[in-house]
């Protein structure tokens, strides 16, 4: 996920730090040393990460836009000037604008804030910002929480005792709380020195920037892979005591399925799957990522000559038009597939489904899927002209039924008029008349609209009195019968107002066949 490094360049960062046996350092020098360590780690292990550098004091400035060139980021660290007072709010507003312009509001991002813990003074200080947080309009709201998924890591160029003595730690913790608890504060353990700064940034690397290595398995075939970006733990909301679920480092392929059958399923996240080539001694040669560096090119050339199952799988899925179902953990699955970046370039991707026995309803339960050879007959047909998916649900979906809806008066008026039109064409339209009548009756009972039943009953009685002399005798009997049944239902008594009960046509001497009447 993209990273924004926010560097404090206010005057307080120029405070000297005495280190025995060496020249005098400033806090900004310690911060630059720690960030250099972070950038070197990312250049080696997180080459696909996009990173931007922002500096701030009372204003903010984008020093380096999102890039994968970590040499540019390191050069920018040595070209930073010193400015005036600290204003954390303006920096957070700047970060919010930069990320939304570049990535929108759906991509998870990480924000690394490097500061000495000074909150600023007067208007614009963190104390003032948090004190006036609830007194603002929507257009001038405090930037936290960010309007996109994020984690805020605060790297303090101070030890814990110093922060507690100035109550800065309390305000910095409130920033994490405002970001929905997503993030962490790091402080220097012991005196301020290069070794302890390295240790602090090492903790950040272990937490957020450690590459995720796994073993991809399919039967006897295996391959060492790196999954990028690192999959985040997933917490199931429905559980009483939610426990974060973490994917296994052994990714076992349990089967293959056509792309058309799996369609475009909902997923939690998408990740690149990169092969890690190993030489005969078991040392890593490369991750299959190209780089301009000559050493990297030579390493990739060596890696390209070593057979790798990950490459075989990628090519097979691409040619056959299939996806591989992979087991991520107990009752947790995902899929491996080939995704094209352009006409000539494609990547092996992995998407994570939601945990559960049935993440995709149209496939049914994952545990019940099996090979075609186990079926009595080929479910795809001899000519591969049909598919067993999607599975039809046992229960009829509520949204798939013909439900009566009266949002507007015109809808109710249309249904009543339909009943009256059929009433005037009795006995030819007897079946249609009772079908529409029962549909209206059920809807009225469901909504508790009992007055409607009485009103329609009165209309039917009036239609009965207006029947012409040439009307069929059975029409009068059916209208009177229907009106009586509606009146009984309008009383609301259980005997006559049962929802599942239907009004059936009245059997008369006129409703039989012409032979029977003769």
H, E, C per residue of 246-265 = CCCCEEEEEEEEEHHHHCCC
pLDDT tier for residue 395 given thresholds of 50, 70 and 90: low
- Quick one: pLDDT at residue 517? 36
- pLDDT cut 70: percent of the chain above it: 89
- Quick one: pLDDT at residue 284? 54
pLDDT over 50 at 518, yes or no: no
Q: Among 31-40, 424-433, 443-452, 485-494, name the one with the lowest average pLDDT.
A: 485-494
Domain 2-209 CATH assignment equals 3.40.50.410: yes
From the list 42, 51, 44, the residue with the least C-alpha distance to 3 is 51
| Burial class, 141, CB count within 10 angstroms (exposed 0-12 / middle 13-18 / buried 19+) | exposed
CA atoms within 13 A on the CB side of 131: 8
Give the 3-state secondary structure of residue 44. Answer: helix
Is this model's pTM higher than 0.85 or not? no
Distance CA 152, CA 280 (A): 41
Distance CA 111, CA 133 (A): 21
From the list 139, 163, 179, 284, the residue with the least C-alpha distance to 224 is 284
Q: DSSP states of 131-197 as a string? A: HTGGG--GGG--SPSPSS-EEEEEEEEEEHHHHHHTTHHHHHHHHHHHTTT-EEEEEESSSS-HHHH
- Give just the sign of the alpha carbon dihedral 184, 251, 310, 363: negative
| Domain layout of the chain by residue ranges | 2-209, 212-235+245-285+302-374, 409-497
Give the 3-state secondary structure of residue 342. Answer: coil
CA atoms within 13 A on the CB side of 148: 23
- Quick one: pLDDT at residue 280? 46
């Amino acid at each position: 996920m993209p990273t924004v490094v926010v560097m404090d360049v206010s005057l307080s960062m120029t405070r000297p730090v005495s280190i025995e046996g060496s020249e005098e350092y400033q806090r900004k020098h310690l911060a630059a040393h720690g960030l250099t360590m972070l950038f070197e780690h990312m250049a080696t292990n997180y080459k696909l990460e996009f990173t931007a550098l922002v500096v701030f004091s009372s204003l903010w400035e984008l020093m380096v836009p999102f890039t994968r060139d970590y040499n540019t980021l390191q050069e920018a660290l040595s070209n930073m000037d010193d400015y005036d007072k600290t204003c954390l709010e303006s920096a957070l507003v700047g970060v919010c604008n930069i990320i939304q312009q570049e990535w929108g509001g759906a991509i998870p991002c990480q924000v690394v804030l490097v500061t000495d813990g000074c909150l600023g003074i007067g208007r614009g200080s963190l104390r003032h910002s948090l004190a006036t947080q609830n007194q603002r309009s929507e257009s001038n709201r405090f930037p936290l929480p960010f309007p996109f998924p994020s984690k805020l890591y605060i790297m303090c160029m101070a030890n814990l005792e110093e922060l507690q003595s100035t109550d800065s730690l309390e305000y910095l913790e409130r920033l994490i709380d405002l970001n929905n608890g997503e993030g962490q504060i790091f402080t220097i353990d012991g005196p301020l020195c290069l070794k302890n700064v390295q240790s602090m940034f090492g903790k950040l690397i272990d937490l957020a920037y450690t590459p995720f290595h796994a073993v991809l398995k399919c039967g006897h075939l295996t391959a060492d892979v790196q999954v990028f970006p690192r999959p985040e733990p997933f917490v199931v909301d429905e559980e009483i005591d939610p426990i974060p679920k973490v994917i296994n480092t052994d990714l076992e392929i349990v089967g293959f399925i056509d792309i058309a059958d799996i369609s475009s399923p909902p997923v939690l996240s998408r990740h690149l799957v990169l092969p890690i080539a190993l030489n005969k001694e078991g040392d890593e040669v490369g991750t299959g990522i190209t780089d301009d560096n000559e050493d990297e090119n030579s390493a990739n050339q060596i890696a390209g000559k070593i057979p790798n199952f990950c490459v075989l799988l990628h090519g097979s899925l691409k040619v056959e038009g299939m996806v591989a179902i992979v087991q991520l953990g107990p009752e947790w699955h995902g899929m491996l597939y080939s995704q094209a970046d352009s006409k000539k370039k494609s990547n092996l991707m992995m998407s994570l489904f939601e945990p559960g026995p049935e993440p995709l309803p149209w496939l049914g339960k994952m545990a019940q899927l099996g090979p075609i050879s186990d079926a009595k007959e080929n479910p795809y047909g001899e000519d591969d002209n049909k598919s067993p998916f999607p599975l039809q649900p046992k229960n009829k979906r509520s949204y798939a039924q013909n439900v009566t809806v009266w949002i507007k008066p015109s809808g109710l008026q249309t249904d009543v008029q339909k009943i009256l039109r059929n009433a005037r064409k009795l006995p030819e339209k007897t079946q249609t008349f009772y079908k529409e009548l029962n549909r209206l009756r059920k809807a009225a009972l469901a909504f508790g609209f009992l007055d409607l039943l009485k009103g329609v009953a009165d209309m039917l009685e009036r239609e009965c009195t207006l029947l012409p002399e040439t009307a069929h005798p059975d029409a009068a009997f059916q209208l009177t019968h229907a009106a009586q049944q509606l009146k009984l239902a309008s009383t609301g008594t259980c005997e006559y107002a049962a929802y599942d009960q239907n009004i059936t046509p009245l059997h008369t001497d006129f409703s039989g066949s012409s032979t029977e009447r003769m």
